[in-house]
Amino acid sequence: MVSPLPGVRPSLPASWYFDPEHYRRELEAVWYRDWVCVGRTDSLQREGDYFTARIGDQNVIVTLGPGAALRAWHNTCRHRGSLLCKEAHGHFRNGRIICPYHTWTYSLDGRLVATPGRLEADDFAAGGYSLYAVHVDTWKGFVFVNLSDAPREGLDDFLGDEKAHLENWPLDDMRSVHQAIYSVACNWKLFWENYSECYHCPRLHPELCKIMPVYKKAVFKASDLPGWEPADDNDNGYGRVSANAETWTMDGKSTLPPLPGLTDAERQAGVAFTSIQGSMFVVGHPDYARSVRIVPTGPERIELVVDWLLPSDLANVDSDTIERITGLAERVIRQDSEACELNQRGLHSSRFEHGVLVPQEYMLWDFHQWLRARLVESKPL
């Protein structure tokens, strides 16, 4: 039977995956213009707590300011541009942000409030030297920033229909119980492309295929298969965990209480995804959730930040439980990372100009079209 999917189409030019100039264009067109997730609200507990985050070669500070309002700034001092915070997270004591170089001091709403030791000058007005603000908003406990002066859309519109897939997951009330950070030698697009297809799954992910039998057929969704029919009214076409599995763990079993609020269909499926083109995906299971953020750190390097989330009343679970919920995904991430690194190296061949997308890689084509549109939009006149 012929696939209901489109035929073959070309993939992106190989140089887009390593050329430093093209990398810079993508940072400007995507990463410095769109909303990008940088962390979780639950890591900021009291006024003055902060974390820093990298996006390309930019660095931002996110803090809990007066009245529990989230604030974000570029991590740069208005005096001569020193990095203000070098730690990944911390607490601003006494509500003061103090530059480590000449101790210019800012309040938690970003105003310059002291310049110790500065000789007086008639024409110095502290009001002109507030920190550079960054747009910040949240979705279900995830903190997003937008580095553009005027975001083209609010976070809600930016997330669009993708929000619906995890609508029933109580992510607002969940906390990260484990975080892993991986440095992977590949362009950011390669990791996203790898996430967007399951053509590689039978070869690369034997353990995952046991839990998700549809992946053995080299497709991401059961509905991609020729002649697919829904099994029942609850079947959303994504495929389900195997008959003897409940969730994504090595043995498919769960030792945690089911998350409240999910439908029967969501529990039976065992998995749901919210994908934020190019930069992040959140995976919901019946008993836990996981977020994966891609941070581009160079043309051929990313950092992957992976968090495993549980309801806040389970935030102190023992290490065995953590191992159970992290084991399968950690295995899969290592398998994917290795494949992406090989892909990156192979792209440097002088004979390889671009590749070809096969039918079940249609989400890569959508991603490429989305990226091309972003690049055209942002191209300077």
Report the residue from 305, 336, 361, 362 that binds Fe ion according to the rule CB under 5 A. Answer: 336
How far apart, in whole angstroms, are the C-alpha atoms of residue 188 and residue 34?
Answer: 15
- Collapsed DSSP state (helix, strand, coil) of residue 376: helix
Report in angstroms how near the CB of residue 208 gets to Fe ion at its nearest: 7
Whichever of 266 and 336 has its CB closer to Fe ion, that residue is 336
8 A C-beta contact, residue 191 and residue 340: yes
Which residue number, 42 or 336, has a Cβ lying nearer to Fe ion? 336
Minimum distance from CB of 4 to Fe ion (Å)? 23
158 binds, among Fe ion, ligand FES, none (CB under 5 to 8 A by kind): none
Neighbours of 120 (CB within 10 A): 5
Judged by beta carbon, residue 99 or residue 357, the one nearer ligand FES is 99
Chain positions 48 to 107 lying near ligand FES, rule: CB under 6 A, are 77, 79-80, 82, 99, 101-102, 104
DSSP string covering 147-186, please? -SSS-SS-HHHHHGGGGGGGTTS-GGGEEEEEEEEEEESS
**Least distance from C-beta 194 to Fe ion, angstroms?**
6
CB atoms within 10 A of CB 56: 20
Q: How far is the CB of 99 from ligand FES (least distance, A)?
A: 3
Nearer to Fe ion among residue 307 and residue 336 (C-beta): 336
Q: Which two tokens stand for residue 288?
A: 């836990």
Q: Does 361 bind Fe ion (CB under 5 A)?
A: no
Question: Which range in 8-16, 144-152, 330-338, 340-348 contacts Fe ion by CB under 5 A?
Answer: 330-338
The option from ligand FES, Fe ion, none interacting with 80 (CB < 5 to 8 A, set by class) reads ligand FES
- CA torsion through residues 351, 357, 361, 363, sign: positive
Distances (CA, A) of 95 to 106, 129, 140, 147, 342: 8, 18, 27, 24, 47
How far apart are alpha carbons 77 and 213 in whole angstroms? 53
Q: Could you tell which of ligand FES, Fe ion, none binds residue 79, using a CB distance below 5 to 8 A set by kind?
A: ligand FES
Structure tokens at 147: 């580095």
Tell me which of ligand FES, Fe ion, none is bound by residue 77, counting a contact when its beta carbon lies within the kind-specific cut-off of 5 to 8 angstroms.
ligand FES
Contact residues toward Fe ion (CB under 5 A) are: 336
Contact residues toward ligand FES (CB under 6 A) are: 77, 79-80, 82, 99, 101-102, 104
